[in-house]
Amino acid sequence: MSDEEGIRRTLALYCQLCDDGRFDEWAQLYTEDAVFRVMGQVHVGPAAIKAFIAEAQPEGRRGKHVAVPGEGQFPVTSAGRYHDRLVRRNGAWLFAERQIVFMGEDPPDQPSSGL
């Protein structure tokens, strides 16, 4: 698998595992010293990152993806962007840093990678 394919796989797994509430597997996508920044909070390491997401997205409040047929307008409930730094460890691409910045939110300090 190429580096690009490996990175795409990690990004896809991030979404699928989080949406499914499979937080034990989701936390394995982070390095042992990973930094996760969101809404002014900083969580370090897979255990702390997992604890945050499990509390933030309990059963029934997880992300849902809705497809709306037709050409009409549709509501957007949340929008933002990710600033990531991934590293290759033992053949797998893992998050060393992930920062989520929601639309309308002032971006905090950028990850050390300069993204």
Q: Any idea what the CATH number is for the domain that residue 20 is in?
A: 3.10.450.50
Residues in the chain: 115
Checking if the pLDDT of 25 tops 60, the result is yes
- Does 37 reside within a domain? yes
Residue-number span of the structural domain to which 24 is assigned: 3-56+76-102
- Does 13 reside within a domain? yes
Q: Could you tell me if 19 and 59 are in contact, meaning their C-beta atoms sit under 8 angstroms apart?
A: no
Q: How many domains, in total, are found in the chain?
A: 1
pLDDT tens across 63-91, in order?
Answer: 555 666 777 776 666 778 899 999 999 99
pLDDT band at 115 (very low <50, low <70, confident <90, very high): very low
* HSE-up of residue 93 (Cα within 13 Å, Cβ side): 17
- Does 67 reside within a domain? no
- Does 88 reside within a domain? yes
- Does 20 reside within a domain? yes
